[in-house]
């Protein structure tokens, strides 16, 4: 039997349709599926917010936008010698910050993705894509520590609806067999569908997509070179991006999910989406970038959906950057996710 994919979207044998068929005019449309509409819930307090009543209100906020998935991102910390440190816990008593979001999401009829992150602040690495080591001993230490953490985390969150085995660890991907071993160990402790969150610039270089269920992409694609780009430029950019994603998905025989999609409030939001910047007067552009991106996602059958970056539990729902919970961003998201015409999408192979 083929492995289960995202609970709402299940792959059946090759060239078959995706599960989750949607109804229109009282009929089921073969070959259609409901999209994944997700939002990442971040935290102000090293994950503590996820284990409190604040998570309930945060999920309610997501649902008001039209979201049917949420995501949390538990942290461990990397050191320059390759060691990975995390707050350990008993297997039979995982912290509420890990398990309560799963309970609360399911209580509200929402699915949840667990997306572990390595914190690099205070190390020599400027971002996760730089995490790499010189000596074999450091590499051995990294994979031993990382594997221990990720397997324990997967076991603790086994009731989640999806699990990410790594996020943006570009320089580690060449250690193909080590990753295959870790993925095999994760499979032993959870039945959740698995993906890898590869950076937009490097997803085509990952050599072990066959070991996971879905191709995961951190979708900070440069959409255009124009500051304060208009809608036409944004649409042309996403047509180009989706053409490449579509070809890759078809070549690998797996669907795609955008594990992150976000824009800062900056006039360069479409040029360098990964930058956390704020500029006065860029609110319309930020909202325009998000709306056009979501429309492109909804229209592309080979992309299951996206997880928007990022939202915080109340009372400070916007955080410092990627301010997703502002009135203009809420309106942009609702304009797509609440639009009846985009509720279903044909899954015809293109």
Topology at the third CATH level for domain 34-346: TIM Barrel (3.20.20)
Closest residue by Cα to residue 113 from 220, 252, 257: 257
Residue pair 42/73 in contact (Cβ under 8 Å)? The answer is: yes
pTM above 0.75, yes or no: yes
- Residue that the structure tokens 């398990």 belong to: 99
Residue pair 89/156 in contact (Cβ under 8 Å)? The answer is: yes
* pLDDT tens digits, 50-107: 999 999 999 999 999 999 999 999 999 999 999 999 999 998 999 999 999 999 999 9
pLDDT of 22: 29
pLDDT of 121: 85
Spatial distance between the Cα atoms of 174 and 167, rounded to a whole number of angstroms: 15
* pLDDT tens digits, 240-285: 999 999 999 999 999 999 999 999 999 999 999 999 889 999 999 9
Instruction: Report, as ranges of residue numbers, the positions in the chain whose pLDDT lies below 70.
Output: 1-34, 340-350
**Residue 291 C-beta-side C-alpha neighbours within 13 Å:** 19
pLDDT of 276: 87
């Amino acid at each position: 039997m083929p492995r289960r994919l995202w609970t709402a979207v299940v792959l059946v044998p090759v060239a078959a349709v995706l599960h989750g068929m949607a109804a229109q005019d009282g009929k089921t449309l073969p070959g259609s599926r409901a999209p994944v509409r997700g939002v990442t819930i971040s935290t102000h307090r090293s994950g503590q917010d996820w284990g409190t009543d604040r998570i309930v209100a945060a999920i309610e906020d997501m649902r008001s936008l039209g979201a049917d998935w949420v995501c949390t991102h538990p942290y461990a910390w990397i050191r320059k010698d390759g060691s990975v440190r995390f707050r350990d816990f008993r297997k039979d008593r995982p912290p509420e910050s890990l398990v309560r979001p799963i309970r609360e999401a399911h209580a509200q009829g929402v699915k949840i993705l667990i997306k572990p992150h390595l914190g690099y602040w205070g190390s020599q690495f400027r971002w996760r894509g730089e995490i790499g080591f010189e000596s074999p001993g450091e590499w051995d230490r990294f994979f031993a520590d990382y594997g221990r953490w990720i397997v324990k985390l997967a076991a603790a969150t086994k009731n989640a609806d999806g699990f990410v085995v790594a996020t943006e660890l570009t320089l580690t991907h060449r250690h193909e067999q080590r990753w295959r071993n870790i993925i095999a160990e994760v499979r032993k402790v959870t039945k959740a569908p698995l993906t890898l969150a590869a950076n937009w610039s490097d997803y085509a270089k990952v050599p072990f997509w066959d070991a996971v269920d879905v191709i995961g992409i951190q979708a900070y694609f440069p959409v255009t070179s124009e500051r304060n780009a208009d809608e036409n430029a944004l649409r042309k950019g996403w047509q180009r991006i989706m053409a490449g994603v579509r070809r890759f998905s078809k070549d690998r025989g797996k669907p795609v999910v955008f594990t992150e999609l976000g824009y800062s409030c900056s006039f360069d939001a479409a040029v360098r989406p990964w930058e956390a910047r704020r500029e006065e007067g860029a609110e319309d552009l930020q909202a325009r970038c998000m709306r056009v991106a979501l429309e492109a996602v909804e229209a592309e059958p080979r992309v299951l959906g996206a997880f928007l970056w990022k939202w915080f539990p109340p009372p400070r729902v916007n955080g410092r950057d990627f301010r997703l919970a502002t009135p203009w961003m809420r309106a942009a998201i609702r304009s797509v996710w609440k639009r009846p015409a985009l509720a279903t999408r044909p899954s015809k192979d293109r």
